Structure formats: structure tokens, C-alpha cells
Structure 1
Amino acid sequence: MAVGKLYMIDLSPPVRAVLLTEKALGINLEHKELNLLGGEHLKADYVKMNPQHTVPSYMDQDGSVIGDSHAIMAYLVGKYGKDDSLYPKDLYSRSVVDQRLHFDSGSLFPLLKTCVLGFTRKGWTSISDDIIEQVKTSYDFLNKFLQGEKFVAGPKVTIADFSCLTSVTALGLIIPLDEKLYPNIASWLKRCEEWPFFSAHSEGFAKAKVVYGSFTKNSSKFFAVVLVCAVVAQVAVAKVTPPPTTTAGDFMAVVGPRDAAVVPQMGWLGLTVRGILTGNNLVSWLLTILFLNMPLVALVDVLFTVSCVGGVSSIGVLGNILWLLTQIILGPLLWILQLRSLLANVINSADFIMAVGKLYMTDLSPPCRAVILTAKSLGIELELIETNIMAGETATPEFLKMNPAHALPTYKDNDGTAMGDSHAIMAFLVGKYGKNDSLYPKDLAKRAAVDQRLHYDSGNVYSLHVSIVFPMWMRQSEGISQRQLDSAKSMYNVLNTFLEGNTWIAKTASPTIADFSLATSVNAINVVAPMDKATCGNVVAWLKRCDGIPHYQEVNKKGKISTQVFSNA
């Protein structure tokens, strides 16, 4: 019995990634082949289900609908997997898989899409050196990911292998992969062929190879039929508040008025020295720290005070005995407690909050700003390390060990784990430090919606930002092309459809990390390719709501100004 319906064509690499997941899980999906050339993906009912009108789309038995192959695979493993091996629950292991998935959606597949559209819509007769170099760079990154590893995210097969495999093999038909230059990829591909479910990829891939064989690479018709069905369908055509610093007022409620009176003049250290010299409030402090029992504290304080005045009264004798016992038995413990209080006072001060990790970043980068906004929303502190890409700071051996893709942002947690890709970093931070799941829901259907939007950012929005802004920064472009303006318009229209009847981008009641990613990317693109406010009212209203997210304007302001400066230079 089928657990859901998959709208597909097996010539599509992302579809084949979902088919691999289906077979690996041992489940059955109803396969609904779409006639893309006949425009079935453009019909109103399909567009309502998937505003991007792409394949694959998945409808579960419970009515949940998901677009984007990466989100579909994660959903299927979460709901139907007998274990988590294909998509680990361990936060770090999952972050590696997420990074590889976004490497596919943000690098491998967009390059494939660019080539296909070039031959089918733009009249390419050959592939430019620039595209060839970009593909080779992606091959090189993947080869480094596989250094010392059996599979792309570690020793075991994951859904990241399914995505990268289907995209790389398709790219290899356009720009062949040199096994001598990329031996790790070559060995990995051979290991993939050993999967018992490999036929879920090989059958559809064999059809593609036959179609490719009908054309030559220099033909103006190259890929006119080849992947127009397979890839064009993938293109949318249209902080918890930190503990307060301890003050005299806070301290008065604990140690009583007599000791509190000296705090403003002497401070913590002065009060500690006074206590050690007089010995008349050590037990008070100990009892206060351990029990917070004010009547008992007051009694002992009186005993010690009488003993310090002198005399042979029974109270004075008792007080001296208590003082002596305190020094002999409890003295070392009290020193530790006092030292702890001193350290806590420093650590919790407004000027020093312990960072949970290091973020290598630059304010110019929308993904970096999305991570910073996530940290602030979680109430955690990150040590921000401004990193100069142009000076080669991301190409050092130390940096490459953390992130072979030498990209920003890169995050290194205090436990030593390091990861790249903003989307994977945000998910990791929410999983490890979030007090609830509002930023990244645990409910599978809701999370799938967030994942789909995150991958839409990787493959469509941020990738468009890179194609427009980076050449301007590098002085390789004098402005934005009409093609890029058209792409921006299409992107705005898709986002406007996502937001129809919704407050936030993933149909949630409050902002998620998908809002952080897309809003920072969209704001950057809007500087150089302004949206039509008349036709994108939902996007305009959403961005205005984003301005109301705590810390959003603070985090985004500097980067937005930098983008304006560079684009106008």
C-alpha cells in the first residue's frame, strides 16, 4: 500500500533522489508521472499544491504536501524510517548531512540547471569557460568532503548521498568528471553502485543517457529534449535575557542590611576581605548560599556580632566556638564559594557573556546575518570573527580543516565541532540551545515546510544574490542584467505566493529560521533589483513584519548599507 503520492518524472535528478530514499526505506509511493511538455505542472490544482510548479512534489496520506526533494527525503525518513541512519538525529551528524544537502541545492543542482537552460532557452552552442570552472570547483569541494570518508557526510549512507549522486552524475554528462583529478568522487560513485536499491537511480539515468546520445555538445539543439523535462521543471518560471549584574540592591536581599551597607563602598572583593578579617559573617554567607534562610542567618549574625564585641557571656562564648569551627571545618569550602560568587559576578556582567562558539563571518553576507539573528533570538552569544575572504583568510590550512568549502559563515562550537552553511548552522544552534522548537519545529510536516523554504533560499534566492552582487564587488560587472532582473521578478512572485494568507514564510504562527534566511537574502537583492510593491504586497508586508523581529534591524542594517555602497561604487 502506498503511503503517499509522488509527482515526478524519472529523468529528473531530484526525483531520482526521492526514489532512492523510497527504496532505501522499504516503502511504496504512488508514482504520478507528469507531462511537463503538456503543461500539467502549470495547471491550477498543481500550482496550488506547489507554487513553484516543480517536480518532485509529494502528498502524504494525511494530506501534507511538500515540494523540494531535500525536504521530502528528510520528511520520509522522519516519518517512515526504522532508524535514523539515513538522516541522523545526533545534532552534529545531522548538521553535516544538512550542509551537504544545501551544497547540492545551492551549488551542484543550480549549475546543472544553468547548463540546461542555457542550451534549451538561450541558444548556447557550447559551455563557457566560466561555467566549466564553476563546475570543476564544485567537483573539487565534493572531492574534499569525501577525503577519508566512504560517503559524503561520513562513514554511512545518508540522504545527502542520494542528492549529490543524482546531480553529479547528470553534471558529468555535460562536463565529464576526471577520475584522476577527483579520485575520491570516483571511488564514492563505485560504492554507490553497490547499493541494493541503486536501480532507483540507474533506470532513470539510463534513459537520460540515451536521450543525450542523440545530440552533440556543439549542437544548438543540445539538451532541447534531454533535460528540459528533467530540470526545467525544477525552475519556477513565473536570546533569553542574560542574568542581571549583581548590584547592592540585589545583594541586600541576601545578606541583610548591615553587610549590604558596605557593598557600595567596598564591592564584592572588599566585602569578602572584610568577612575574612572579621570572621563575623562567614557562616551567614554559607547559610545564605545553601539555604537562603533569612531568620537563621540573622540569628548567627547576632551571635557573631556579640562575640566580636568581647565579653564572657554565653552568647559570646558560643559565637567564638562557632567562628573557630567555621574556620577549621568550613573555611576552604567558603573560599571556593566566595570565588564562585566573584567569577559569576564577572561572567554575568553586561560586559562579559560566555560565548557558546565562534562564528567566522562578514557583515556583507546575508547568510552570516541570518546566523547572527538566530543566535540573538536564542539568547546565546557567539564570538564573531570578521574574516577577510579577499585576503585569503578562508584559504588557510586551519580554516580549510573546519570547512573544506572555505565559505562564510563557518561555525565552531565550544565542544570542538565545526560546520559550514548557514542553514545547517542555524538548525544546529536551535537543536542544541533552543528552549523550544518555535524557530525550527519538530513536527515533521511543519519542519518540512521550513526545510523547503531553506532550500529555496539556497538554490534560488541566495544563489541569485551571489550571481548579481559578487560580480559587482569584484568589479566584473557594471550592473544588473535583464535576465537577472527577470529572475528576481520571478523569485519575488514565488515568495508572494508562499505568503498568500500566511504571516510567515513557512505557514507558521511565528518566525522561523526560514524567515531569517530568506529575509536577509531578499533584502540584499531588493537593494539592486527592487521588487514591484504593487504586485508583491505579501512580500512587502512580510518584510515589514520582519523589521519587528527583535534584533532584526540591528543585525541587518550594517550589511544592507554595505550592499548599497558596493552596488553603487
Structure 2
Amino acid sequence: MDFYYSPRGSGCRTVIMVAKALGLELNKKLVSTLNGDQLKPEFVKLNPQHTIPTLVDNGFSVWESRAIAVYLIEQYGKDDSLFPKDPKKQAVVNQRLYFDMGTLYDSFANYYYPLYRTGKCGSDEDFKKIATSFEYLNTFLEGQDYVAGEHLTVADIAILSSVSTFEIFDFDLSKYPNVDRWYANAKKVAPGWDENWSGLLELKALSFFSPEGTTKHSFVLNMDYYYLPKGSGCRTVLMVAKAIGIELNKKLLNTSKGEHLTPEFLKLNPQHTIPTLVDNGFAVWESRAIAVYLVEKYAKEDSLYPKDPQQRALINQRLYFDLGTLFDSLARYYYPILRTGHPGSSEDWKKVEAAFKFLNIFLEGQDYVAGSHLTVADIAILSTVSTFEIVDFDISKYPNVARWYANAQKVTPGWEENWEGLQQMKQRFEIGKAMAK
């Protein structure tokens, strides 16, 4: 297995620790992003998104550290302790992994990455997001020794990599006693900690921070689904539920009235986000984690999220791409319209274009985004791409995406409900634009 990495990268260190926990030897290949190694044709052929870490296992290429980590466990783990097969336990692990990428590590990047470009940290608002992230993590760890269950999992390892990166920038963990307690223990029990710390010292020694870089059955279940029809993630879950033939007990949550901040809802989801699913007392949030949970728990077969580790790793990578690249670009450029009437910056627009270029590459010669048939990744990305349509984004510039999008609308159960929700979202954008006039 060839492992393209930099020892300083948080995601790279996550994979190294997971490999250590599994007793695997990786053929490590250093990639200097400063020298542009990631842009060389031979690397772009392996990973058109040209990110590290990237793993190549006997010709199978996968990137995004959390997708790699789960793949290694499912393919080579002697047991499932690091990534449980039980759908509920696994859903919590998945939620924490998405939390790590989309909330915790994202807050780090927004505040500390500017050091690389400008020599200065981000804004006070960016720092507040760090504090909020740690408050969430502190809540998750109340009365818990591990972040996602009763023993060490891949979620602990990924979050350990992120939290330890905060440490070398002298972030005060003592303000969050549950996190501080967990961190002290995690350093002792996580295999590969020494190599993680060695990479962190390299990072600390730098004078700047270098960014690394469908079944037809139908049955009623006791599941409360807190959502808004216009939300992209909410629509993803609705389509997945339709695809596996289950009925959700839909509960509209008016975030503009603060219903997500009530004590009752915070008890279910301390991160107070939607969508949130409560299945017979088991609460899970983050749309992609919910979608995978529903498929693994209630689908009659595994076509939407196959059990094969390589197929699953590819789907996971696309799900992380949707959250961290495609939907992120949508939110950064278009969501300001809802608040100010104006879109984001020209740099934000470039991120939109870059995201669609990547997706167009992924779909070269492919009818689906992660294999030869419809999966949960197609449904999640369909929800996002369809949101771009209502803001008049020209999808035709990306022929592979346009071809896939036209087909996805036809073959995805629940498309009609997705489109209905989009009309509500479109009205919100029109109101936002009117504010600027």
C-alpha cells in the first residue's frame, strides 16, 4: 500500500495512527505541497482532487483521511472494535467523524490557516467558532471516556489528531474539562501517538502554518425526524428514506424562531443542528451519518451503501467531498445572499468552480458518483447539486455532471419531495436578493 502524505498533516497523522492500531505497514511516500508534488500528472491521475493523504492499495485509490481510515479497518481489521458493525454504534462514530471534519477541524483551519498566507490568525468570529466546537465536544464527552461509545474507535483517533494540532498552537484545553480528561487518556491508549507527536513538532517548527494541505417495501417506525424541507441535508435524508421504503415521523423545526435551541431539543442534539433523527430513543444528527444509519439499519439489501470495503470507501470519500468541498462552496458563495442580499467573494466563486471541476472528473465515463449503481453518495450530492440549480448556476458547463444530474433526477426515489423543498429555498433566496435592492 502506497501512502502519499506529509507527517505534518492532521489527516495524514490520523491514518498513520489507524494503521498502527491495525498492525499495518504503509509504504510512505512524502508529498511536498510547497513544491507542488500534488499537482504532478502522475499524482493527479491517482487523485484528481490532488489532496493528501491519498492511499493506493493494489491499484485502488482513495483519499480523505477519514474515508481511508474506515477503509483500512473494514478491509484489514481483525475485529470491528474501531468501527463497529452495529448500525447505532457505527452511526455515532460517523457523526463524530463528520463533526471532526465539518466543525472541529474546520474551525481550526479557518482561524489558524491564515497564518500561512498573511502571518495573522483569523477573525474574532473565527475564534468563537473554535470555542463553540470545543463546547460541543465537551458536551459529547460528559460522563464518557471515549467520543463515540465505551471504547476507542476511529472517531477518537481522528479527533485526537485534530485536538493535538490545537495543542501545539497553545490553545487552552483546560477550559473544557471533559475534553482535557479525554485527551490525557487518548494520548496513552491510541497506538501511534509518538509518530503523531513527531509530525506535530515538525509543524510547530515551521515559521508559518502550511495547509496540507430500492426496495418497494414500506413500514412505519418510531422515528422522529426533525427537519426543514428546504434544507439540503434534510432533503438528502428524505430521499434515502423513500429509497428504502420507510416512513419518518416528520417534525418541522423553525430555526428562525429558535426552536433548535430549546432545552428539549438540546437534550437530543447538543450541537442543535438539523436534520436530527431520533429512532426509539437513539439520537443521531448530520445528514450523511443519518442516511448511512438508515440504510444499514433498515434497508433490505446493501446496494445504497455496499458492505465491500473498497466500494464503501469510495462512497465515504464522495460523502466527505460533498460536505467539505461541494456543499461548502455553495454555503460560502450563495448563503450570504440570505443575510445580506449579496453573494460571497470572487475567491468563494472560484471554490464553486473548482468543486464542480472535481465532480466532473469523478464522473468521467461514470453514470454514478461512486460506482456502477445508485448509492447514498449520489443522493447526497443530488441534494446539493439541485440546490445550485435554483440559484441559476450553469451546470451545463460541466457535461459529465449535467448528464449525471439529468439521470439522477429520474432514478432517485423522493426527487419530487426534494424539488418541493427547493422551491421553498428558492423563495428565501429571492427574498434575500430583494433586500439588496
Q: TM-score, normalised by structure 1?
A: 0.72
Amino acid of the structure 2 residue aligned with 1:190? A
Q: Which amino acid aligns with 1:74?
A: V
Computed over aligned residues only, the root mean square deviation of the Cα atoms, in angstroms, reads: 1.9
Distance of 1:441 and 1:460 partners within structure 2: 23
Shift of 1:455: 0.9
Q: What is the deviation of 1:390?
A: 2.0
CA gap of 1:482–1:117, structure 2 versus 1, over 3 A, is: farther
2:289 aligns with: 424
Residue 256 of structure 2 is matched in structure 1 by 390
Residue of 216, 231, 250 corresponding to 1:365: 231
Q: C-alpha offsets along residues 214-248 of structure 1, whole Å, 9 cap, x if unaligned?
A: 4xxxxxxxx3xx224xx2x3xxxxx64457xxxxx
Distance verdict in 2 for CA 1:124–1:533, change over 3 Å? farther
CA contact (8 A) 1:100 1:152 kept: yes
- Which of 12, 15, 19 lines up with 1:15 in the alignment? 12
Matching of residue 553 in structure 1 with residue 419 in structure 2? no
Q: Are residue 65 (structure 1) and residue 48 (structure 2) matched? A: no
CA distance in 1, matches of 2:180, 2:326: 31
Q: Is 1:530 matched with 2:393?
A: yes
Query: Among residues 319, 322, 340, which one is paired with 1:454 in the alignment?
Result: 319
- Residue type at the aligned position of 1:365: G
Partner of 2:152: 157
| Contact 1:106 1:455 (8 Å CA) reproduced | no
1:510 corresponds to: 373
Shift of 1:176: 1.8
Q: Does 1:183 align with 2:183?
A: no
State the distance in 2 between where 1:367 and 1:125 align. Answer: 34
State the shift of 1:125 in Å. 3.0
Do residues 148 (structure 1) and 143 (structure 2) align? Answer: yes
Deviations 1:254-295 (A, max 9, x none): xxxxxxxxxxxxxxxxxxxxxxxxxxxxxxxxxxxxxxxxxx
Q: Quick one: which of 315, 337, 341 aligns to 1:472?
A: 337
Match of 1:403 in 2: 269
**Alignment partner, residue 381 of structure 1:** 247
**CA-CA distance at 1:480 after TM superposition:** 2.9
Q: Distance in 2 between matches of 1:457 and 1:171?
A: 25
Secondary structure of the 1:381 match is: strand
Number of aligned pairs? 430
Deviation at 1:114, TM superposition (A): 3.0
Is 2:1 the counterpart of 1:137?
Answer: no
Provide the rounded CA distance (Å) in 2 between the counterparts of 1:175 and 1:131: 16
> For residues 75-94 of structure 1, what are the structure 2 equivalents within 5 Å?
75-94=71-90
Mapping for residues 208-357 of structure 1, pairs under 5 Å: 208-211=203-206, 214=207, 223=208, 226-228=209-211, 231=212, 233=213, 240-241=215-216, 354-357=220-223
Give the aligned residue type for 1:371: V
Q: Select 1:54's aligned residue among 47, 51, 54.
A: 51
Report Cα offsets for 1:458-491 as digits up to 9, x if no partner.
Answer: 2122233333444433x24532321221110010
Aligned residue for 2:31?
34
Look up the match of 2:406. 544
- Report the alpha carbon displacement of residue 200 of structure 1 after superposing the two structures with TM: 2.6
Structure 1 residue 35, shift from structure 2 partner: 2.1
Letter matched to residue 298 of structure 2: Y
8 Å contact from structure 2 (residues 379, 412) kept in 1 = no
After TM superposition, give the deviation of residue 117 of structure 1 in Å. Answer: 4.7
Distance across 2 between alignment mates of 1:51 and 1:112: 25
Query: SS at the partner of 1:548?
Result: helix
CA distance in 1, matches of 2:344, 2:416: 28
Q: 1:392-416: per-residue Cα shift (whole Å, max 9, x none)?
A: 2222222222212111111011x32
Q: Quick check: 1:434 aligned with 2:299?
A: yes
Q: CA deviation at 1:136?
A: 1.3
Cα distance in 1 for residues equivalent to 2:286 and 2:234: 9
Change (3 A) 1:193 1:355: closer
Shift of 1:354: 2.4
Matching of residue 485 in structure 1 with residue 349 in structure 2: yes
Offset of residue 357 of structure 1: 1.3
In structure 2, how many angstroms separate the alpha carbons of the residues matched to 1:24 and 1:242?
41
- Relative to structure 1, the CA distance from residue 118 to residue 529 in structure 2 (aligned partners, 3 Å threshold; closer, same or farther) is farther
Change (3 A) 1:550 1:27: closer
Check 1:463–1:227 CA distance in 2 against 1; reply closer, same or farther (3 A cut): same
Q: Secondary structure at the match of 1:360?
A: strand
> After alignment, is 391-400 or 19-28 more displaced?
391-400
Query: What percent of counterpart residues are identical?
Result: 34
1:66 is paired with a residue whose SS is strand
Report the Cα distance in structure 1 between the residues aligned to 2:153 and 2:392, rounded to whole angstroms. 38
Answer yes or no: is the 8 Å Cα contact 1:116–1:227 preserved in 2: no
Deviation larger for 102-111 or 367-376: 102-111
- The 1:153/1:131 distance shift into structure 2, 3 A limit, reads same
Per-residue CA distance 1:47-86 (angstroms, 9 max, x = gap): 11111100000011x3211111111111111121121111
2 CA distance for matches of 1:126 and 1:57? Answer: 28
User: Does the Cα contact within 8 Å between 2:295 and 2:304 map onto a contact in 1?
Assistant: yes
Return the alpha-carbon distance in structure 1 between the equivalents of residues 113 and 48 of structure 2: 20
Change (3 A) 1:24 1:528: same
Q: Aligned partners of 1:173 and 1:522: how far apart in 2? A: 38
User: Which residue number corresponds to residue 424 of structure 2?
Assistant: 562
Structure 1 Cα separation of the partners of residues 185 and 252 of structure 2: 40
Q: Distance in 2 between matches of 1:430 and 1:410?
A: 16
